[in-house]
Structure 1
């Protein structure tokens, strides 16, 4: 009886705006990966990106906007923020960049409309994060930071239908 309750509780939880495993994918962390773990997970669709870069150096901070509301800042807001706002029906389909010496030095976000947003220095080893399912969009970022900058980044993707719910 306890097993049935646990399984049913799990199914109920999955039905509450969580992507089903067949429509969810994860792009593993790129970068050094030291420091405190972070996640930008939030309800809604990503509608904007804000990134802080130390002048001619690595990425200091990241913030995402979900349906008009900005998440808490990941790491620091040192320097001038660079920002991209998405238009209606636009979503992120790729995250690329470069990492070196334990930091993320460059980030580039590409949308389904063919627009891109690139911040940082082209220094280090390249990485490309993308979904495994057609129609997937970036849902949130995770990784690590050490209080001075972003040291690793991973991407979480899901397929969503037009009514803002997860495609079954």
Structure 2
């Protein structure tokens, strides 16, 4: 009886479509690891703060729903901030890196491009592996600069999106 139950569970699990994928790490080594995996529970990505100097991406902070993540990286350079429109999601990230991250360009489902940093170094293009998935959170390594970065893609949870866009239940 137990083998049949296990077989049934395996068939159900394998029949479910996959949606999660990962792109990265882009950059060099060093720095301290960070992951914003828990932040995705606060809602979809709604904004970015990126600090840049004349050569590198110095730091990054992401807003999930209405809550800002921890700031990752250093404190020198200019801080830029971009907000996504309601229903807008990141579907591609391109950029450049050497030993550190030099450029990021977030591309949204509305066709907007949100560029940060300098156009110099080795190029990358990060996209999800599965259709109808969006950028859910980032991870990487940082110190006084962003050493490297990775992008985590998944479907947008309907329950999280509804709760965050309509918190009073109206």
- Give the structure 2 partner of residue 46 of structure 1: 45
User: What's the TM-score, normalizing by structure 1?
Assistant: 0.80
1:98 partnered with 2:91: no
1:88 partnered with 2:86: yes
Measured in 1, the distance between the counterparts of 2:59 and 2:67 equals 17
**Higher-helix-fraction structure:** 2
Which protein is bigger by CA-based radius of gyration? 2
1:33·1:143 contact (CA, 8 Å) conserved in 2? no
Q: Deviation of residue 23 (structure 1)?
A: 1.0
Moved beyond 6 Å, runs of 4+: none
1:152 partnered with 2:148: yes
Measured in 2, the distance between the counterparts of 1:144 and 1:88 equals 30
Measured in 2, the distance between the counterparts of 1:80 and 1:152 equals 19
Q: Deviation of residue 87 (structure 1)?
A: 0.9
Measured in 2, the distance between the counterparts of 1:40 and 1:77 equals 19
Measured in 1, the distance between the counterparts of 2:17 and 2:126 equals 18
Q: Deviation of residue 156 (structure 1)?
A: 0.3
- Give the structure 2 partner of residue 24 of structure 1: 20
Measured in 2, the distance between the counterparts of 1:26 and 1:148 equals 25
2:94·2:106 contact (CA, 8 Å) conserved in 1? yes
1:106·1:119 contact (CA, 8 Å) conserved in 2? yes
Q: Deviation of residue 161 (structure 1)?
A: 4.8
The total of aligned residue pairs comes to 144
User: What's the TM-score, normalizing by structure 2?
Assistant: 0.79
Gaps of 5+ in 2: 1-5, 7-15, 162-170
Measured in 2, the distance between the counterparts of 1:160 and 1:70 equals 18
Cα displacement string for residues 110-148 of structure 1 (whole angstroms, at most 9, x for unaligned residues): 000000110111111001111011111101111111x21
- Give the structure 2 partner of residue 13 of structure 1: none
